[in-house]
Structure formats: structure tokens, C-alpha cells
Structure 1
Amino acid sequence: MSNTKLAPSQVAQRVQNDDAEDVFLLDVRREEDYEEWRIPGSTNLPIYDELLEYDFSTLEDRLDELPEDEKIAVVCVAGVTSARAAEFLREHGYDAESIDDGMNGWGRVHRQYDIDAVDGVVQIVRPGTGCVSYLVHDGGEAVVVDPTQYIDEYLAAADERDLRIVGVADTHAHADHVSGARRLAGELDVPYYLHGEDAGELDRVTEIEDGDAIEVGDRALDVRHTPGHTPGSVSFEYGDALLSGDTLFLRSVGRPDLEDSSEDAVREAAGHLFDSLGGLTDLDDGTVVLPGHFSDEEIRPLATELGELRAETTNELLSYVEDGDEEAFVETIVESLADEPANYNEIKQINWGREQPGDDVEALELGPNNCAAN
């Protein structure tokens, strides 16, 4: 019998059109779960509860809606009900496989991209959660920026390029995912860099501030303090690149309400963010912006010159900064904040060192990315 499971990493390749083989993504979860978080391009057939009872009647009634000339990849929560659906489809002549570990597996996928426009930066994208991290390198040395809890991804990326990791940095205390920075730095016995205002109760932190430089080979990551998303948010300049963390995204900016959601606090933090973005827009138009998150942008790697972001109309909040209109900037943020990231308070407590991660640490961060201001 052929393998009836499809690795989530293979799905990620096909979503990004890196694979010539077409695949039809069939999501059998409940409609509300699908609407909240899904694989791009998938189709929902909400038969999860039926499949739990081995009831295939709805699936059988809808067979004529499924393609007969494409592979069908079925996804559910953890790969159990999708495996039942895939087996039923195979029995009816379809080329169907279940995505291994379902959406849980999709949330763990990481993909690497070398950035042609910038020397010495590898972008590591987590497509299921919208998280983006970086391996910055020069002369055989590397610094990891904003790693997820899956630290083996970064060890492997460094090994593949014969690089020695000499430091690990977070651009801020994350609210959407559990940082792997402390654990990676501890295992390698290298410094963990973080701005003091985001350090919480952490120990063994090498605190950084505006104007500092983190050495990488013969080059350096230059630190710019860019508060707003969090009090200690920083961005890193590396040659012609700007690793903007959660300060500046390609189509939005970082939301300023995850420290204190009261309106007065949000307005104050939004004002700080406006000033921080004003400083970043003083950089050269050729500066390549490398964000810490994405929503549904399809370009890979996620890299756009600052001049292009200024010229485009897709980042409304950045346009207010360009126009010097702080009032419109703040009001737009206050009026358009989306739902907070899932479990963000618990995640922040872990990243501040106030709580230890439990057995549910992987499940805590699964879900849509909601770190943008609008």
C-alpha cells in the first residue's frame, strides 16, 4: 500500500507553487474553525462531526464536486478524521491523502528562503502562523533573530550553511508565539539579546538599546529602538536590510494594544509607534524591509524595498506617517483593531519568564496571526 499521508511541508511547497503537481486541499473541519484559520486555497466541507461517527453520507453526496484528475489532500485538526475521509475517497477511486497531523502539523512547518537582494540573510517563514524569523550571517558566524520554539529548524539551517551561531536575539517580547531564543542561546552558550524594557523577569539576558551593535563576523546588526508595538521593540539594520520585527509589516504596522488595552494606553503607544515609524521612513528608499510577520501576502521571500512601500497604497498606516498625520494614524488604529492573538497573555507570561511552558506549549500558539494593527 502506498503512503497515504502527506507531509505538511509538502503542502507548503505546493501552496507556494514550488511543485508542479496540482493538489486540491479539502478541509473537513467545522465551518467556524475553518473561517478562523485555514490553509490558503483550501475548500471547506464541514463534515468533522459526521466523520467522528464514521458517517460518510454527506461526503458521498458531494463526490461529484471533487476533482478526479488531481491529488486530494484532506486536512482536519490532528489527522484522524481526515484519514477516514481520505480512505473513503480512495475506495471511490480518488487519489487522496491525509495531511499528517492536520492543522497542528501545518502550524509547525518552517520554510527557508535566501534573499537575493540582501547579502547574508536567510528568511525562515512559518506559513501556518505568519511568523517570520532570520538567520543573519557573515564569515562563518550567524545570529538568529526571532526564533520560534522549534529551535532545531535554526540549528539545521546553520549546519546546512556551515555557520556557527554566536548569538540569538528577539526584536521584542512576543505575544503570538513562544520564543525559542532563550533555549537556543542556552543550549549553545551564546548571548541572548533583548531590549531591557521587554525583559520582564528574565535572567541571563544581554540587554540592548538604541545605537548598540551585535557583531556577526566582520559585520554587525545595528540596533534601533522602535517602541510602540511593545515598549522594548527594536529593529535591526544589517547593511541594506531592515529587520523590522513587529514595528513595520509590508501592509500594516504592529498593533500597540497587547501590553495594555485601555484606550488611553493604546493611544499613547500608538503615538510612540508613529514616532518610531517616522524614524524608519528616514532610511534610504533602497532599504529592504524584512518584517517579523505576514498575513496573506504571497511573495516569498517577504522582502520589499522601503521606497516601494512608500509608493504603494497597500499600507494605509504607513502613508499617514509619510504625511505626518499622527491623529489619523492613531484614530485608524483605535478604530480597527482586530481580535487579539490566541492565548496572548499566557504566551507573554512565558516570554517574560513569569511562567514556565507546560505540556500545551505547542497548542498555545496555533491559529491565525493577529499581530497587525488593522
Structure 2
Amino acid sequence: MSNIKLDPAVVARRIEEDDAADIFVLDVRNEDDYEEWRIDESTNVPIYDELLEYDYSTLEDHLDELPKDAEIAVVCVAGVTSARAAEFLREHGFDAQSIDGGMNGWGRVHRQYDLEDADGAEGVVQIVRPGTGCVSYLVHDGEAAVVVDPSQYVDQYLNAAAERDLEIVGVADTHAHADHVSGARRLAGELDVPYYLHGDDAGDLENVSELADGETIPVGGRELDAIHTPGHTPGSVSFRFGDALLSGDTLFLRSVGRPDLEDGAEEAVRTAASQLFDSLERLTDLEDDVVVLPGHFSDESVRPLATELGDLREETTNELLSYVADGDEEAFVETIVESLADEPANYNEIKQINWGKEQPGGDVEALELGPNNCAAN
């Protein structure tokens, strides 16, 4: 069987850029898997089990629904059944390729955006994982750089720094993550630079430079200022870098961080939600022209993910933030308690790794695949 593979990073770029109309993503996984986690604008024909048995009858029934004038990128779980489907489609005259690694490969894609054109965000590179909704950052001044919230794929940050002739002098996490395995300790260890994390989220970790509210991380001639913003976790911080606010999982563009992943008991959630409300009040007291750079996104298509705080206050897409603007803590807490979604997949095991209580095993990449579900609603 010939297997023409399509780089998932190329798919991500083409979906985002102007030639998106020239690519058609066909997902052949089962419907439940597709509904849980999928590539935006993809089309599902649930024939995964049939393809395992080399049964192409249902796919053949759908041929009239597929475009002849676009490249078809077929995706499955790991790239095996999608390769079978792509070959069948090519035999029937379609320009079809299989996405290399399937959704597993999609989850590893990272996209870089320099924010030089965003007023107030000079010296910030945003690194987005479109398949998982995770966002990390490379902040820099002169030849020095600090990485914030890196994924476990540390080469992405080493390469981003090398491309810009930067030396990474520190690595930081805004909090102990529950949705993805942090690469911060590994990256800091490989480079022999400090790893920064608030003490309340440090767990059993060793060799941590513990941050407290108001402390700074040097970045060339500038500083990354730590603002303690508990609620999502006890040790959550946001970082201010000039007029850029790296808000971690405290403030997103359309929601806020969920406060139930440390303790899901209702009283604990209410307490953490009240802390989160106070943290958001503190952040929303900042100037209107501060650029909010979140640690996650859901279905926002704008790139880079950046909105001035003043605009974010005025928009109606962030219901929970509107309660903060109105000073309505009761409505904020009740809305969070009533609208929490499913927890991130494997979040307890991921947190144990990020706290240093467990060592990552051979399935560490698979642990974080799927929707991040870190938003409160």
C-alpha cells in the first residue's frame, strides 16, 4: 500500500492561511471520538472500524460528497486507517493524502507568532498548539529569553530561540498544569537555567526557584513581573512584560480558568472561585491598553491570540469577566459551579507528574491528547 503522508503542521498552516479553501479535512474516526476532539472545519465520515477490516463500502457511498477540486487530508487516530482511505480515494480520482500520525500528530503541532506588531507586546513570541488549545511564550530582550509554560516538546523552544539568536536564561510555569505535561523542568535542566514556579504549586519538586507575588524574572534589560492570581490553582501567577499580560489559566479571551481541578468538592470549588474572582479584579484594574495573552484558547480563530484588556472588558463574549466588571461575585461563583464541563483527560496523572510526585512513563505523549477543558464554562 502506498502511503502519501501530509505533515500535520502543513495542514495547520493551510487551514489558518488563505489557501484553506483548497484543503478538505476528512476525519474517518468513530463519531464519539470526533465529537470529543477534532480539527476545526473538518468533516466526519465514521468508518474507522470498517477501514480496520479493509471495508470501503461506506466510503464509496460518500464519494459524491467529496470535493474534486480540493486536496483531501484524511485523518484518523494514528495515521493507519486514514492511509487506507486516502489510497482508496486516489484510486477513484481524488487528490488525497493521509495526515502523518493522525490526531496524535495533530496534537504535537506548534505554531509561532511574533507579536512585534501588537502595541505593548514587543519582545513576545506566542507558540500555539492548535490541536490541544495550549499556548506558551518566548519573551525576550536583547539576546536573552525566558520561556513560559512550555509543552513537553522542548525542541520547539530551543529552535524558536535559535532562529532568533536568543539565549534562554530561564523557564517558568504560570501554574502546575492539569491538561498537559510541562516541559519546563526538562528544558531548564538541559540548559542549566532557573525554573520558576510559585511555591504553592511546587508540590514535591526540587530545584525550583519559587516565585512570590511582586517578584521579577530578569530578561535582558527588562523584567517579567509575577502577579499572584490564585483560583485556578493556589499558586497560579500571571506575568506582566511591559504592556503584555501573560495571564496563564487565570484569564482567557472568552472565559476564565476553572477552579475545581485541585479539589472538586462544592465548598472547595466555591472558595477557589472566590479567590479567582479577586484575582480577576486585580487584573482588570490594569490599564486598558494592556495586551492579554492567555494560556489557552477554545475555538478562537484569531492569530495571534491577543486582545487589549479594555476591549476584553467591553466585549460580551466573556460572561464571567462581565460579572467581575459588575462586582457581582455571587453570580460569578454560581455560574462557575453550575456550568463546569468535563475535566481534562488524565488530569490527575498529569498533575502528579507536574508536581514531581510521579515520573512520566512511556505514554506521556498520549496523556494530554484531546480537548484541554481548562476553561470554567
**For the superposition of Structure 1 and Structure 2, which TM-score range results when normalised by the shorter chain?**
over 0.9
Does the C-alpha gap of structure 1 residues 78 and 327 become closer, same or farther in structure 2, counting only changes over 3 Å?
A: same
CA distance in 1, matches of 2:53, 2:328: 57
**Partner SS for 2:285:** coil
CA distance in 2, matches of 1:139, 1:356: 36
Q: Does 1:345 align with 2:355?
A: no
Partner of 1:16: 16
Partner of 2:55: 55
Asked if 1 retains the 8 angstrom alpha-carbon contact of 2:3 and 2:98, the reply is: no
The alpha carbon displacement at 1:21 in A equals: 6.4
Alignment of 1:210-225 (within 5 A): 210-225=213-228
Partner of 2:278: 275
**Partner SS for 2:273:** helix
TM-score (norm 1): 0.99
The alpha carbon displacement at 1:369 in A equals: 1.8
**Partner SS for 1:128:** coil
Q: Does 1:307 align with 2:285?
A: no
Identity percentage over the alignment? 82
Amino acid at match of 2:193: V
Aligned length: 374
Q: Does 1:164 align with 2:167?
A: yes
Partner of 2:100: 100
Partner of 2:364: 361
Partner of 1:91: 91
**Partner SS for 1:73:** strand
Amino acid at match of 2:357: R
Say what the alpha-carbon RMSD is for the aligned residues: 1.1
The alpha carbon displacement at 1:14 in A equals: 1.5
Partner of 2:249: 246
Partner of 1:237: 240
Asked if 2 retains the 8 angstrom alpha-carbon contact of 1:25 and 1:41, the reply is: yes
Q: Does 1:38 align with 2:31?
A: no
**Partner SS for 1:74:** strand
Partner of 2:333: 330
CA distance in 2, matches of 1:160, 1:46: 41
The alpha carbon displacement at 1:300 in A equals: 0.3
**Partner SS for 2:365:** helix
Partner of 1:200: 203
Amino acid at match of 1:39: I
CA distance in 2, matches of 1:199, 1:12: 34
The alpha carbon displacement at 1:17 in A equals: 2.0
- Measured against aligned partners, the alpha-carbon deviations of 1:177-236 in whole angstroms (never above 9, x if no partner) come to 000000000000000000000000000000001010100000000010000000000000
Amino acid at match of 1:134: Y
For structure 1, list consecutive stretches of 5 or more residues without a partner in the other structure. none
**Partner SS for 1:214:** strand
**Partner SS for 1:155:** helix
Q: Structure 1 residue aligned with 2:322, among 312, 319, 323?
A: 319
Amino acid at match of 2:262: E
**Partner SS for 1:224:** strand
Asked if 2 retains the 8 angstrom alpha-carbon contact of 1:13 and 1:19, the reply is: no
CA distance in 2, matches of 1:370, 1:240: 28
TM-score (norm 2): 0.98
The alpha carbon displacement at 1:4 in A equals: 1.4
For structure 2, list consecutive stretches of 5 or more residues without a partner in the other structure. none
Alignment of 1:43-192 (within 5 A): 43-115=43-115, 116-117=117-118, 118-192=121-195
Amino acid at match of 2:158: L
Q: Structure 2 residue aligned with 1:292, among 291, 295, 298?
A: 295
Amino acid at match of 1:72: I
CA distance in 1, matches of 2:321, 2:258: 13
